[in-house]
């Protein structure tokens, strides 16, 4: 079944998508990848895309739709696509539904990996790196490991990270843009929200359970 995976920056969406690709033999479809692949293949559409991008222009919806159709009709990935970062708005969501209907496919699950702003902040601000062995731990989430760190906890130093503002801005932008799309999908029974604050393995197990059904 095809899946749509949503999740703000920092929720671990990329990691989970990679797990699904490997374990369940899925094709990860993001528009960025689609465009890059087409350029690499050196098709006439590819060179048109390359030109648009290098001139700083947007790639039209028509081009993206053509590439979407190519992937959806590729028998190799039939019913095995993870849509990652697409659709970005309700218009695209409706369009995706039309294309899938046309080729007799559906979205099996829409998974929203939700993580709060507060957790994202803690993940960034709590990051500590060992001066001796370079191990990275988090003062909020790895209290035990910090206490028991073999080099000695005193070597774990907080890095000055001024990235926080950028990351939070990206988070806010994502949530603002994605909320209407989430509203659109959350009305369906196959919409599932997973707590992105959980451990990576726990999240992975939950997704595996969902994909088994």
Q: Quick check: bond before 66 cis, omega within 30?
A: no
Asked if 151 touches Zn ion (CB under 5 A), the answer is yes
Distance separating alpha carbons of residues 203 and 193, to the nearest angstrom: 11
Asked if 132 touches Zn ion (CB under 5 A), the answer is yes
* Residue 156 CB, nearest approach to Zn ion (Å): 7
| Closer CB to Zn ion, 11 or 130, in the complex | 130
Q: Are 73 and 103 in contact (CB under 8 A)?
A: yes
Asked if 157 touches Zn ion (CB under 5 A), the answer is no
Report which of 42, 88, 47 is spatially closest to residue 68, judged by C-alpha positions. 88
* Residue 143 CB, nearest approach to Zn ion (Å): 16
Q: How many residues bind Zn ion (CB under 5 A)?
A: 4
| Interface pick for Zn ion out of 130, 137, 167, 194 (rule CB under 5 A) | 130
Asked if 133 touches Zn ion (CB under 5 A), the answer is yes
Q: What are the C-alpha distances in Å from 139 to residues 143, 146, 174?
A: 6, 7, 27
Distance separating alpha carbons of residues 193 and 130, to the nearest angstrom: 35
* Residue 150 CB, nearest approach to Zn ion (Å): 6
Residues at the site binding Zn ion, with contacts judged by CB under 5 A: 130, 132-133, 151
């Amino acid at each position: 079944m095809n899946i749509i995976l949503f999740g703000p920056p920092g929720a671990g969406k990329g990691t989970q998508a990679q797990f699904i690709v490997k374990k369940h033999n899925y094709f990860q479809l993001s528009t960025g990848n689609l465009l890059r692949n087409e350029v690499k293949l050196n098709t006439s559409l590819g060179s048109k895309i390359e030109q648009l991008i290098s001139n700083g222009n947007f790639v039209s919806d028509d081009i993206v739709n053509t590439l979407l159709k190519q992937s959806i009709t590729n028998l190799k990935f039939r019913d095995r696509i993870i849509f990652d970062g697409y659709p970005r708005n309700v218009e695209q969501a409706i369009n995706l539904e039309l294309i899938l209907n046309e080729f007799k496919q559906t979205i099996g699950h829409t998974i929203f990996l939700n993580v709060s702003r507060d957790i994202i902040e803690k993940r960034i601000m709590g990051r500590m790196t060992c001066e001796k062995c370079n191990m990275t731990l988090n003062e909020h989430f790895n209290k035990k490991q910090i206490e028991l760190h073999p080099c000695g906890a005193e070597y774990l130093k907080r890095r000055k990270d001024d990235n926080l503002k950028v990351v939070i801005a990206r988070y806010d932008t994502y949530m603002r843009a994605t909320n209407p799309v989430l509203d659109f999908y959350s009305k369906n029974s196959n919409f599932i929200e997973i707590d992105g604050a959980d451990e990576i393995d726990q999240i992975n197990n939950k997704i595996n359970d969902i994909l088994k059904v």
